[in-house]
Amino acid sequence: MDLKRALLIALWVVVAFVAVVFGALLVALSRAGPVAGGGEPGPRRPRRRDRRAESGHAVVDAMNLVHWAGLRPSDESLAAVIGAATPLLRARFPGNIVYVSKDRDSAEAAPAGGPLSAPLAAALERTRAVLVRVSRYTDPPAGPPAEGHHTERARDDLHTAVVATRLRCAVISNDRMADFPQMPARVPPYIATEYAYWRAPRVEPVKPAGLRAAVRRPRIIPIEDVLSRAALLEEIAIGKSRS
């Protein structure tokens, strides 16, 4: 009788162990996703942050892209880059492609909402892209006192985050924005003018100090992850040959 009882106990232990292993296997398979025809687990459901970054829109750090292409900053260079990069980017981002640029810190601030140069206007009309140009105030309202810190000039970087937050998308740039947490406190008020081919410019005064809770650091995609420099320069050369 004792031997029979011992055998029954051993049998129940084996059954319980098999049940635990089988249950763990089912949980692992359910997390891996549906099994494809070849027997390999399907792709995992993307995390919420990844889905937000792949909303179909993209914000581009325009001057960072111009420098990456090896061009000198100018309206002509920016127009060439917009004309060449936008069709390449639309293969991955079918929504709005928004370029954010700024006026030069060493130059007199251009009037906000003024007309674009002919090359830029033509590039936007041809590609259906959007350009947001952030400008300094000629007579700025009250803001943080100037301290000479380089972050004070990062109004274009800050505004890429503003637009990316609104569109719930990523920013294409090789600037990692390590100083982003300090931007709302250091960047003085500026004016953002949005240019689109289908309507008049839209002018928006921006006070960075009021953006602390509304804007967060965006997901940043390195330029090399979405563009080939050789393909971009080839498109730029083709565009120049047509003009």
Distance CA 58, CA 160 (A): 10
Residue found under tokens 């330029």? 223
- Is the pTM above the cut of 0.75? no
Where exactly are the structural domains of the chain? 1-45, 49-242
Q: What is the pLDDT of residues 139-171, one digit of tens each?
A: 666 555 555 556 677 889 999 999 999 999 999
Q: What is the pLDDT of residues 45-95, one digit of tens each?
A: 444 544 444 679 999 999 999 999 999 999 999 999 999 999 999 999 999
Residue found under tokens 């060439």? 80
* Beta strands at 97-102 and 170-172: parallel, antiparallel or unpaired: unpaired
Tell me the three state secondary structure of residue 195.
strand
Check residue 232 and give its pLDDT. Answer: 95
Which runs of consecutive H residues, i.e. helices, occur in 33-137? 48-53, 62-68, 75-89, 118-127
